[in-house]
Amino acid sequence: MGEFDLIDRFFTRSPRPGGRTVLGVGDDCALLQPAAGMQLAISSDMLVEGRHFLSTVDPARLGHKALAVNLSDLAACGATPVAFTLALALPGADETWLAPFSQGLLALADAHGCELIGGDTTRGPLNICITVFGEVPVVEGHSQALLRSGARPGDDLYVSGSLGDARLALEVFRGRIRLPDEVFEAARARLEQPTPRVALGQALRGVASAAADISDGLLGDLGHILRRSGVGARIDTEAALALLASRPWPADAAGGFDAEQALACVLAGGDDYELVFTAPPEARSAVHQASRQAGTPVSRIGRIETDPGLRLIDRDGRVRSEGYRSFDHFA
Amino acid sequence: MGEFDLIDRFFTRSPRPGGRTVLGVGDDCALLQPAAGMQLAISSDMLVEGRHFLSTVDPARLGHKALAVNLSDLAACGATPVAFTLALALPGADETWLAPFSQGLLALADAHGCELIGGDTTRGPLNICITVFGEVPVVEGHSQALLRSGARPGDDLYVSGSLGDARLALEVFRGRIRLPDEVFEAARARLEQPTPRVALGQALRGVASAAADISDGLLGDLGHILRRSGVGARIDTEAALALLASRPWPADAAGGFDAEQALACVLAGGDDYELVFTAPPEARSAVHQASRQAGTPVSRIGRIETDPGLRLIDRDGRVRSEGYRSFDHFA
């Protein structure tokens, strides 16, 4: 199967009526007609075997994840997904891999009305590079995009959904811990098939003061918000620990897994694809309304402060002496 | 050097004043504000070591080529370059490679006013994936983009610049032929540092009936135009052979290199990044004016016909009996 057969067979679809795509796969370029007054939000992510996914992963889940991590970037900006390109390096044209991969990819694309408009295929070590396009309204000259730079001292600090479970699953794959089957399967789905918080991101436009998606771990990605906003933050570690969905632990987790390691998974596990965001205290009811509207739970886990840096507060209200660097380097 | 240091150091620049970029590298997404009434042309190309470039290539030339092959797709649509994203998988963060790579990349970007607005870096087998964005005007509801689908019987068939020299250089690298030093160096520059025909593509808007860029070889890429336009074509092989810029050959080319092999390089060599396009005979003066305006020579090498398929015409005006498939499979 040659490059063009492969594109025809697995990745070519007609432009969706009423969509923004004027011309899709099959010419030198795709043509996109942005709606009047809209800005285009653009993000690109590259997934490499062994680094972003295990070679044994279900190709359908991998197709889902490859697009999900990009949609998560759009979610962090509050953008509405429009379209994406797919560049794919493959060791060979294996139909038993390509069919489920494209199925998983396009199912998530369809769920978000995000059209595959072009890309590239080549032979090479497995590499998946997706560039995604979303729209953000501009109201009276002001972009409604959520940025990393808008956090202000006194703002509440929130996280969507749950954190740390993807890392728990990874630690099981690495043979470092064991989990009961049903707990592992749920955690594994979080690792292999993350849910981008697209609806929440859109609902937070005009509500959140800053936002980022959590791909490298909460501490790292919150760190981007803090640096670009010129502020610091405190995190309530008890509230953070409650973000781990996997239960029960550590009772059934073998290999010396304890509350500290669970906290490390939450704070620096990575691969969560949740949103971390800030909003002023007077926006609390608006935040909860956005959460309900999107069907995505959010938790308040701390607040933004003037002092630079990040402080972890224990259950007694004390700043933990070891700081957060030990967690930041968990990986 | 971590991922973020690397991005800061080699790939972060401020948005250009007056450009379309609202927000560049450093947030979850880049923000682009397309000009009113413009369509966005989008193309994505992935370059893999060993397949698209040799491991020994000068990194500055590779940086140039990685963007050039994408700009060539914009040229084929007649689009004006605006911005691009870069996703990069690297075996290691080698500054002696990254510095010249980013220099070569950004020099070409600057020459075309095309801003680097975001991307991704990761560790992995060397892989360069660029997605490029250009603008195409829409006039009275009609896109001015050049497409592959507009060729009509009777149209003239043109090629820009020269063809086949990149393949000659590759054959030297493979040890199959030898060339005089100065001939080789010129051919090698064509292979390693191609010139995207961006100005010509723009000048051909409203003049050419169809266009494609020549990346896989003239016959293959012309084939896309023929299939999508539902037409056939004849090529004057003498005119085609004159497109090879490398001289003298075959006198100084060792290894049994002859006119037939030279023709194969022209027709199916690949890596040319010239434009193949069609235009009605009454547009000949407009084509030559576009050529002068862009400073890019064009050659008329055949014409579009009603009969499907591609016919190669020899110097005596006869259709070559072996057809074009032997050239198409030259690689």
Query: Rounded mean pLDDT of chain B?
Result: 88
Q: Does residue A325 carry a pLDDT above 90?
A: no
Return the HEC string of chain B: CCHHHHHHHHHCCCCCCCCCEEECECECCEEECCCCCEEEEEEEEEEEECCCECCCCCHHHHHHHHHHHHHHHHHHHCCEEEEEEEEEEECCCCHHHHHHHHHHHHHHHHHCCCEEEEEEEEECCCEEEEEEEEEEEEECCEECCCCHHHCCCCCEEEEECCCCHHHHHHHHHCCCCECCHHHHHHHHHHHHCCCCCHHHHHHCCCCCCEEEEECCCHHHHHHHHHHHHCCEEEEEHHHHHCCCCCCCCCCCCECCCCHHHHHHHHHHCCCCCEEEEEECHHHHHHHHHHHHHHCCCEEEEEEEECCCEEEEECCCCCECCCCCHHHHCCC
Is the domain defined by A3-143 classed in CATH 3.30.1330.10?
A: yes
Between A and B, how many CB-CB pairs are < 8 A?
195
Task: Tell me the mean pLDDT in the region B24-40.
Answer: 80
Angle between helix axes B259-268 and B218-229 (nearest 10 degrees) is 50
Q: Is B41 in contact with B134 (CB distance < 8 Å)?
A: yes
Task: Tell me the mean pLDDT in the region A1-10.
Answer: 67
Q: Is A122 on the interface with B (CB under 8 A)?
A: yes
Q: Is A69 on the interface with B (CB under 8 A)?
A: no
Task: Tell me the mean pLDDT in the region B182-205.
Answer: 95
Domain B148-328 class in CATH: alpha beta
Residue among B33, B79, B125 minimizing CB distance to A39: B33
Residue B139 to residue B147: CA distance in whole angstroms: 16
Q: What percent of chain B has pLDDT over 70?
A: 88
From chain B, pick out residues whose CB is under 8 angstroms from the CB of A197: none
Banded model confidence at residue B21, pLDDT cuts 50, 70, 90: low
Task: Tell me the mean pLDDT in the region A202-225.
Answer: 95
**What pLDDT shows up at residue A252?**
47
From chain B, pick out residues whose CB is under 8 angstroms from the CB of A136: 31
Task: Tell me the mean pLDDT in the region A153-166.
Answer: 97
Task: Tell me the mean pLDDT in the region B105-132.
Answer: 93
**What pLDDT shows up at residue B324?**
62
**What pLDDT shows up at residue A31?**
84
Banded model confidence at residue B159, pLDDT cuts 50, 70, 90: very high
Q: Does residue B67 carry a pLDDT above 50?
A: yes
Pairing mode, if any, of strands B309-313 and B232-236? parallel
Q: Which of B251-265, B275-289, B305-319 has the lowest mean pLDDT?
A: B251-265
Q: Is A79 on the interface with B (CB under 8 A)?
A: yes
Banded model confidence at residue A306, pLDDT cuts 50, 70, 90: very high
Query: Rounded mean pLDDT of chain A?
Result: 88
List pLDDT tens digits, range B199-251.
Answer: 999 999 999 999 999 999 999 999 999 999 999 999 999 999 999 998 765 55
Q: What is the nearest CA distance from A61 to chain B, expressed in angstroms?
A: 21
List pLDDT tens digits, range A233-284.
Answer: 999 999 999 999 987 655 544 455 677 888 899 999 999 999 999 999 999 9
Torsion on CA atoms B202, B205, B211, B215, rounded to nearest 10: 10
Judged on CB neighbours under 10 Å (0-12, 13-18, 19+), A245 is middle
Q: Which of A32-46, B77-91, B146-160 has the lowest mean pLDDT?
A: A32-46
**What pLDDT shows up at residue A331?**
43
List pLDDT tens digits, range A53-102.
Answer: 888 899 999 999 999 999 999 999 999 999 999 999 998 878 899 999 99
Q: Is A57 in contact with B9 (CB distance < 8 Å)?
A: no
Q: What percent of chain A has pLDDT over 90?
A: 64
Task: Tell me the mean pLDDT in the region A203-210.
Answer: 97
**Residue-range domain boundaries for chain B:** 3-143, 148-328
Please check whether the two domains, A3-143 and A148-328, share a CATH topology: no
Q: Does residue A50 carry a pLDDT above 80?
A: yes
Q: A92 versus B325: which is more confidently predicted?
A: A92
Nearest CA in chain B to A22: B39
Q: What percent of chain A has pLDDT over 70?
A: 87
Q: What is the nearest CA distance from B142 to chain A, expressed in angstroms?
A: 11
**What pLDDT shows up at residue A1?**
55
**What pLDDT shows up at residue B252?**
47
Q: A50 versus B300: which is more confidently predicted?
A: B300
Q: What is the nearest CA distance from B68 to chain A, expressed in angstroms?
A: 14
Q: Which of A320-329, B92-101, B228-237 has the lowest mean pLDDT?
A: A320-329
Banded model confidence at residue B75, pLDDT cuts 50, 70, 90: very high
- Residue B113 backbone dihedrals phi, psi, to 5 degrees: 60, 35
Q: How does B196-210 read in b/e, with b if 16+ C-beta sit within 10 Å?
A: bbbbbbbbbbebbbb
**What is the predicted ipTM?**
0.87
**What pLDDT shows up at residue B59?**
95
**What pLDDT shows up at residue B11?**
76
Q: What is the nearest CA distance from A30 to chain B, expressed in angstroms?
A: 5
Q: Is B77 on the interface with A (CB under 8 A)?
A: yes
**What pLDDT shows up at residue A320?**
85
